[in-house]
């Protein structure tokens, strides 16, 4: 035998020397939930160690996050008021807008990305205006664009539309540019699948649809080629970053997206992926830290530049990457 790959696996020094993949801690984005009220830090039952914070509490929490090296958060709002036109999504004094102002004034260097969607703000829990029992695409675009603008005005560093309406990147770009925010980037949830892996998030954000499902706007999990079409459209419409979501069950799509994209690629390690790791760890069935690390490496190896993950804080705290 001449060729023996095991020669380069002999010890840790040589293994580290030839390691192809490393996760950059600065590429981790930490998703967080903010609610109305004061003094609230409520653990999300299906997502151990993730919380709904009121603004005063999120400021306290961010103190420790920033201290351990969290550079960026993805913010989700849970409003008190929901209606048929998602009016608190684009209210200047909505929960996200107030939270962003408070966060940016206390932590100007923290990079704040806002999730732009309407489902948390709609009484029916869908991601757009309902007409004849389905989400009506084009009228929803205006609300998404208005919401993005209100986030930018509040001081958001980047907006991230997660609704999967056709044409929303262009609509948001146009609205931002017309109002002096041509330098605010858009991270598009481009290949977002209608996935059961979002289950725990919908508990967390109280955003489950009250009738039907999201399959008429989010992608069919069986389709890979269609995901690339979505990515191409978002690139044409001016997306600054494209995203694949969920991550683990869609690594093939992530790899293909990384191959065709000429902008950075993000992956969302979603709630269900997080909760499964936490549940198995709690049962004592897996080595939690090793699994988290392996998952993050898988995203990186598949081509992700940015990893959005609920594990971000613990990864930095424990020095897992
Ligand atoms: C809003 C939104 C969802 C997630 C991110 N933005 C839920 C959904 O589409 O139903 C899921 C995130 C996660 O599961 O961690 N549309």
CB of 270 closer than 6 A to ligand 1? yes
pLDDT, position 30? 98
pLDDT, position 235? 98
List of the chain residues with pLDDT < 50: none
DSSP one-letter code for 94:
S
- Which phi and psi (to 5°) does residue 115 adopt? -75, 130
DSSP one-letter code for 220:
P
Catalytic residue among 82, 192, 300, 313: 192
pLDDT, position 261? 98
Structural domain harbouring 101:
20-318
pLDDT, position 82? 97
Is residue 244 domain-resident? yes
Separation of alpha carbons 317 and 39, rounded Å: 24
CA of 187 relative to ligand 1 center, distance in Å: 14
pLDDT, position 162? 97
Q: What share of the chain is helix, strand, coil (3-state, %, to 5)?
A: 45, 20, 35
Which CATH number does the domain housing residue 254 bear? 3.20.20.70
Which residues, in sequence order, are CB contacts of 62 under 8 Å at separation 6+? 70, 73, 103, 106, 107, 110
Output the CA torsion sign for 186, 191, 194, 200: negative
Beta bridge partners of 193: 219
For ligand 1, atom 11: residue with the closest CA:
198
Beta bridge partners of 29: 308
**How many CB atoms sit inside 10 A of residue 95's CB?**
26
For ligand 1, atom 5: residue with the closest CA:
162
Beta bridge partners of 111: 72
Nearest to 161 by CA among 245, 262, 38, 85: 245
Query: Is 192 a residue of the active site?
Result: yes
Query: Is 245 a residue of the active site?
Result: yes
Cis amide leading into 246 (omega within 30): yes
Task: Say how many domains are in the chain.
Answer: 1
pLDDT, position 258? 98
User: What's the pTM value of the predicted model, to 2 decimals?
Assistant: 0.97
Q: Are 306 and 7 within 8 A, CB to CB?
A: no
- Which phi and psi (to 5°) does residue 268 adopt? -110, 110
CB of 121 closer than 6 A to ligand 1? no
CB of 195 closer than 6 A to ligand 1? no
Is residue 14 domain-resident? no
Distances (CA, A) of 69 to 40, 63, 92, 109, 251: 24, 10, 30, 11, 27
Catalytic residue among 245, 278, 300, 313: 245
Is residue 306 domain-resident? yes
Strand 47-54 to strand 41-44: parallel, antiparallel, or no bridges (unpaired)? antiparallel
Is residue 143 domain-resident? yes
Is residue 15 domain-resident? no
pLDDT, position 25? 98
């Amino acid at each position: 035998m001449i060729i023996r790959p095991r020669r380069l696996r002999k010890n840790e020094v040589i293994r580290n020397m030839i390691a192809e993949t490393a996760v950059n801690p600065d590429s981790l984005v930490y998703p967080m939930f903010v609610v109305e009220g004061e003094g609230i830090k409520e653990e999300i039952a299906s997502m151990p160690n993730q919380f709904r914070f009121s603004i005063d509490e999120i400021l306290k929490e961010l103190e420790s996050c920033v201290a351990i090296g969290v550079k960026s958060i993805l913010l989700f709002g849970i409003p008190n008021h929901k209606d048929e036109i998602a009016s608190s999504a684009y209210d200047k004094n909505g929960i996200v807008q107030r939270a962003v102002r408070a966060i940016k004034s206390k932590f100007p260097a923290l990079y704040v990305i806002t999730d732009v969607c309407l489902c948390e703000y709609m009484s029916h829990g869908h991601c757009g205006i309902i007409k004849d029992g389905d989400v009506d695409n084009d009228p929803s675009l205006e609300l998404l664009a208005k919401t993005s603008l209100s986030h930018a005005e509040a001081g958001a560093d980047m907006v991230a539309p997660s609704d999967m309406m056709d044409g929303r990147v262009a609509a948001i770009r146009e609205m931002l540019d017309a109002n002096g925010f041509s330098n605010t980037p858009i991270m598009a949830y481009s290949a977002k699948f209608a996935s059961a892996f979002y289950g725990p998030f919908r508990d967390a954000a109280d955003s489950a649809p009250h009738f039907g499902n999201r399959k008429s706007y989010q992608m069919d999990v069986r389709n890979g080629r269609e995901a690339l079409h979505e990515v191409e459209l978002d690139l044409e419409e001016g997306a600054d970053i494209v995203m694949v979501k969920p991550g683990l069950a869609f690594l093939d799509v992530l790899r293909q997206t990384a191959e065709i994209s000429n902008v950075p690629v993000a992956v969302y390690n979603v709630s269900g992926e997080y909760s499964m790791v936490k549940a198995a760890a709690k049962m004592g069935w897996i080595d939690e830290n090793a699994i988290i690390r392996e998952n993050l490496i898988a995203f990186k190896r598949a081509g992700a530049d940015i990893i959005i993950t609920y594990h971000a804080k613990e990864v930095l705290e424990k020095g897992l990457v």
